[in-house]
Structure 1
Amino acid sequence: MATLTEPSSSLSFTSSHFSYGSIGSNHFPSSSASNPEVVSLSKLSSNLEQLLNNPDFDYSDAEIIVDGVPVGVHRCILAARSKFFQELFKKEKKISKTEKPKYQLKEMLPYGTVGHEAFLYFLSYIYTGRLKPFPLEVSTCVDPVCAHDSCRPAIDFVVQLMYASSVLQVPELVSSFQRRLCNFVEKTLVENVLPILMVAFNCKLTQLLDQCIERVARSDLYRFCIEKEVPSEVAEKIKQLRLMSPQDEETSPKISEKLLERISKILKALDSDDVELVKLLLTESDITLDQANGLHYSVVYSDPKVVAEILALDMGDVNFRNSRGYTVLHFAAMRREPSIIISLIDKGANASEFTSDGRSAVNILRRLTNPKDYHTKTAKGRESSKARLCIDILEREIRKNPMVLDTPMCSLSMPEDLQMRLMYLEKRGN
């Protein structure tokens, strides 16, 4: 019988064979149940899993700190399964036998972030060779009608796993998660492609990067948002692809370079938080804040106080729709900042408006929010998360005025508990 170390074995513990072609599978094929080698490896996998999950088997000799929480690990297993860890442990200084060495995960990652649940999922594969179902609390959203096959939490979780697998050098996982991310690119909304594009760029996944660039290039995603979100070389490739593609003049009118230059100056002034310069540029030119999509841009990228100052200028329509059919409130929902949403409602933003593809600001928020964030309380255990607070504000606004258009809402009419929660969050953030 082949051993675990023999290269001729088709069931090498370090291969991706255990996933049997499906991420999330936790079972071996029934036809393999009678194979003694498969049964033995399955038992070994389950036994090793106890080192992670069973407190009675805590024989860890090191800790990796993830989001401030120590995770006990066994250096011998990590070194055997990952070249990154093998090199890391070689370089470590001698530490007292009574003290476990500690490593910060964020110091291992030159780009991207990997949360606690994603790292535990990654470790589970390292120890067991199996890819389990994703934890629902961080890989699904709180929209009850979502299939969770391409919503933002599902994408974000796989993006985190890709960063971990690539940087920590587990190539079979890189291949598996790259296939999953490739499937997301065509199914999800184009704004959700950007985090996939960034992980492909940072991890040098050429095929995935090219697919993301092509998808963004044929979308109507705002040019200046692309330049803000992605590396300059990628933005230039997208720009060139768009120039090469034929455009329908009726649906995509060509914007003159002179107009683009004026828009760029306004948006750069917003980036600099220079409200007076924004006002001056708008006053001295024939372009409006709406034509520049200035409010849309501001609610995504500007400080909340700057957003309030821009709104106070009364130079833009808070219910103005951009070329994609999104109002300013729809963009604010993507930001998930309660004070900005309240500022827009104060100025008459209609929470009942739908995008051209039938989504309200609440729908957008719910598709962006996972159950963990929705239900998590703050450190003091009294306040909901910002995402939950944003959803509550919008849902209450809709219940009060489900069909109201163009009726400014006064902040004094907001329920007192929401006002108190917002004030608490603002103080906590200062």
Structure 2
Amino acid sequence: MANLAEPSSSLSVTSSSYLSNGTSVYAASPPAPPPAPPAAGASLEVVSLSKLSSNLERLLLDSEFDCSDAEIVVEGAPVGVHRCILAARSRFFHDLFSGCGGRRQEGGKPRYEMSELVPCGRVGREAFMNFLSYLYTGKLKPAPPEVSVCVDPMCAHDACRPAINFVVELLYASSVFQISELVSLLQRRLLNFVEKALVEDVIPILRVALHSQLNQLRSHCIKRVARSDLDKISLEKELPHEVAEEIKSIRCKAQPDEPNSLTVDPVHEKRTRRILRALDSDDVELVKLLLSESDITLDDANALHYAAAYCDSKVVAELLELGPANVNLKNVRGYTPLHVAAMRMEPAIIVSLLTKGASVSETTADGQSAVMISRRLTRAKDYNAKTQQGQESNKDRICIDILEREMRRNPMAVEDSVTSPLLADDLPMKLLYLENRVAFARLFFPAEAKVAMEIAQAETTSEFTGLLTSRSSSNLREVDLNETPTMQNKRLRSRVDALMKTVDLGRRYFPHCSLVLDKFLQEDLPDLFYLQKGTPDEQQIKRMRFCELKEDVRKAFNKDKAESVHSGLSSSSSSSSSLKGDTRHSKAVRNEVAEFSWYMYYRCST
């Protein structure tokens, strides 16, 4: 039996040898030599490839070995690349570098913009670095947690929006740059996301599948959306026309015995669509006219839901003033306008709804509150981002903060009115105080102040010349001779009302910022513009006060953080990374106050 097995073994080794004309050379070939021990050869090859991979990776990660000859700008920052490696790995880069594209820099390196290379979809810096790592090393590294993990401590992070978005960005890059094996791998990953994810999070997967012409992923996403309760209006807004029609067709075929289950009154639908088209044009007056001419109400048309999802924040505010509407109305999917606004992550819209009585405790059919929705859409990187002086805070972080504070706030509590020893019965003095308070808020906390002013429509009123708002001291002497005392009083009161509302909104949604401003204005404002006065010892004391101000800011942030932990509503309560982010954020604010203080000292001394 052993002799019979040997020819068979030889045949299996040599029967694959052929001449160029297709004739078998098995008969003329000598018996094949015994194969080398697989363990030693395979092990040496693996070690060599692993070493080569590690050495190439050092070109990306180690600045000591930076010999890049081109740059690709991603999110405003250049990333050095080696054209020979990219051209050898990708036909797209071969053609790109063979042409005359790119803008030459001072060092002679051509520079390319990611937004121009991938105009169809966003590719972030972390996703691009992950993609480059694959090109250089042949290995796909795990997704960085800071961009693939949300800040909801209850989330498994297996299908939340940050996890999906990272793979979608990586797939856009792989598809455009023509790395087919990586495209295939990422398609399998996204297929696993489709059934786990919320239907809203399937939409970006479907878009990249359409762009990359991945038919299997496209078909899977379409079936998932067709089975969902995503409404027809959302389908038409979010997807190409032919895809939306295909989904509608699948839904109709799935219910052949109930042909009218998805139909509505055509007259009602026509009137509703007119209202929504008016909102698309930001024409609230036309919406008002259409409502008066029909029996359709804002609630019937789900106008607040639509505006919260697709319209400008000012349109939402005007719509809320238009007439009676239920701000806690749930649509067919069980979402209130606040849930929709939380998905959009626009602070001004969230605040507008909350000020009109939107309930932050309302939950969707699957038990999600508005704050939970916001957390699951927010990347850890964005939540923990350090804000530089004069820069706006991240919108995602602001949305979460607003919603969490609203949940902690006693809904029956009456907001304290603005009180200050600087306020007198004299209207100009009140206005002067409010102008300066808001001006300091814009310098200390620019993003928070912007949200409050936008909701209060303070920027639409004429600005009173205050200490900080004045560009020149001559403005104090400017007088409109055509303005009567009555007109002037009306204008000033309008400005006071807008600024009062701004301050009230700040107290309600940004309490720690407001406390810092209270103490700063009450104790430090009289001396702020006289820093050049006094003896050297007095000036030293004033500078020490600015150091104390930094400590006041730190305590305010720590107190607010402690309240969040105590209430169990802050996402930082169960995440060490989030607590670390709070610390970084508070340090950024303290540094911002210190830098502004010295700026004011320099300004007043010159």
Q: TM-score range by the shorter chain?
A: 0.7 to 0.9
Superposition deviation, residue 244 in structure 1: 1.8
For the 8 Å contact 2:105–2:111, the answer to whether it is kept is no
Tell me, yes or no, if structure 1 residue 179 matches structure 2 residue 205: no
Superposition deviation, residue 380 in structure 1: 2.7
Deviations 1:235-289 (A, max 9, x none): 111121122221898x966422332222211111110111011112222222221
Is the alpha carbon distance of 1:344 and 1:409 closer, same or farther for their aligned partners in structure 2, counting shifts above 3 Å?
farther
Query: Which residue of 2 is the match for residue 54 of structure 1?
Result: 62
- Rounded to whole Å, the distance in 1 between the matches of 2:329 and 2:48 is 64
- Rounded to whole Å, the distance in 2 between the matches of 1:248 and 1:325 is 26
**1:127-142 maps to which residues of 2 (within 5 A)?**
127-142=136-151
Tell me, yes or no, if structure 1 residue 346 matches structure 2 residue 372: no
Query: Which residue of 1 is the match for residue 202 of structure 2?
Result: 193
- Rounded to whole Å, the distance in 1 between the matches of 2:40 and 2:372 is 44
Aligned residues: 393
- Rounded to whole Å, the distance in 1 between the matches of 2:99 and 2:173 is 20
Tell me, yes or no, if structure 1 residue 66 matches structure 2 residue 60: no
Query: Which residue of 1 is the match for residue 473 of structure 2?
Result: none
Structure with the bigger percentage of helix: 2
For the 8 Å contact 2:284–2:318, the answer to whether it is kept is yes
Q: In structure 2, what residue type is equivalent to 1:293?
A: N
For the 8 Å contact 1:346–1:409, the answer to whether it is kept is no
For the 8 Å contact 1:119–1:161, the answer to whether it is kept is yes
Superposition deviation, residue 209 in structure 1: 1.1
Q: In structure 2, what residue type is equivalent to 1:424?
A: K
Deviations 1:42-101 (A, max 9, x none): 110001000000010001111111111110100000001101001111112697995111
Unmatched segments (≥5 aa) in structure 2: 1-38, 419-437, 460-606
Q: In structure 1, what residue type is equivalent to 2:54?
A: S
Query: Which residue of 1 is the match for residue 267 of structure 2?
Result: 258
Tell me, yes or no, if structure 1 residue 287 matches structure 2 residue 308: no
**Higher Cα radius of gyration:** 2
**1:10-409 maps to which residues of 2 (within 5 A)?**
35-92=43-100, 99-246=108-255, 254-380=263-389, 383-401=392-410
Q: In structure 2, what residue type is equivalent to 1:258?
A: V
Q: Give the secondary-structure state (helix, strand or coil) at the position aligned to 2:330.
A: coil
Deviations 1:144-193 (A, max 9, x none): 11111000000111110010000000001100111111111111000111
For the 8 Å contact 1:296–1:327, the answer to whether it is kept is yes
Query: Which residue of 2 is the match for residue 424 of structure 1?
Result: 450
Is the alpha carbon distance of 1:262 and 1:96 closer, same or farther for their aligned partners in structure 2, counting shifts above 3 Å?
closer
Is the alpha carbon distance of 1:263 and 1:412 closer, same or farther for their aligned partners in structure 2, counting shifts above 3 Å?
farther
* RMSD, aligned α-carbons: 2.9
Query: Which residue of 2 is the match for residue 6 of structure 1?
Result: none
Question: Structure 2-normalised TM-score?
Answer: 0.61
Q: In structure 2, what residue type is equivalent to 1:307?
A: V
Deviations 1:10-40 (A, max 9, x none): xxxxxxxxxxxxxxxxxxxxx9996111111
For the 8 Å contact 1:347–1:409, the answer to whether it is kept is no
Q: Give the secondary-structure state (helix, strand or coil) at the position aligned to 2:368.
A: coil
Is the alpha carbon distance of 1:326 and 1:98 closer, same or farther for their aligned partners in structure 2, counting shifts above 3 Å?
closer
User: Bigger relative contact order, structure 1 or 2, given CA contacts below 8 A and separation 6+?
Assistant: 1
Q: Give the secondary-structure state (helix, strand or coil) at the position aligned to 2:203.
A: helix
For the 8 Å contact 2:162–2:377, the answer to whether it is kept is yes
Q: In structure 1, what residue type is equivalent to 2:121?
A: G
For the 8 Å contact 2:123–2:169, the answer to whether it is kept is yes
Q: Give the secondary-structure state (helix, strand or coil) at the position aligned to 1:71.
A: strand
Question: Structure 1-normalised TM-score?
Answer: 0.85
- Rounded to whole Å, the distance in 2 between the matches of 1:299 and 1:96 is 44
Q: Give the secondary-structure state (helix, strand or coil) at the position aligned to 1:35.
A: helix
Deviates more, 1:74-83 or 1:219-228: 219-228
Q: In structure 1, what residue type is equivalent to 2:225?
A: V
Deviates more, 1:108-117 or 1:31-40: 31-40
Q: In structure 2, what residue type is equivalent to 1:114?
A: V
Is the alpha carbon distance of 1:408 and 1:360 closer, same or farther for their aligned partners in structure 2, counting shifts above 3 Å?
farther
Query: Which residue of 2 is the match for residue 28 of structure 1?
Result: none
For the 8 Å contact 1:346–1:408, the answer to whether it is kept is no
For the 8 Å contact 1:345–1:408, the answer to whether it is kept is no
- Rounded to whole Å, the distance in 2 between the matches of 1:161 and 1:89 is 21
Is the alpha carbon distance of 1:410 and 1:333 closer, same or farther for their aligned partners in structure 2, counting shifts above 3 Å?
farther
- Rounded to whole Å, the distance in 2 between the matches of 1:411 and 1:177 is 54
Unmatched segments (≥5 aa) in structure 1: 1-30
For the 8 Å contact 2:390–2:446, the answer to whether it is kept is no
Displacement over 6 Å in runs of 4+: 31-34, 93-97, 407-413, 416-420
Superposition deviation, residue 424 in structure 1: 3.4
Q: In structure 2, what residue type is equivalent to 1:337?
A: E
Superposition deviation, residue 410 in structure 1: 7.2
Deviations 1:84-131 (A, max 9, x none): 001111112697995111111111113001011110010010000011
Query: Which residue of 2 is the match for residue 10 of structure 1?
Result: none
Q: In structure 2, what residue type is equivalent to 1:212?
A: C
- Rounded to whole Å, the distance in 2 between the matches of 1:274 and 1:398 is 33
Is the alpha carbon distance of 1:253 and 1:426 closer, same or farther for their aligned partners in structure 2, counting shifts above 3 Å?
same
Deviates more, 1:285-294 or 1:219-228: 285-294
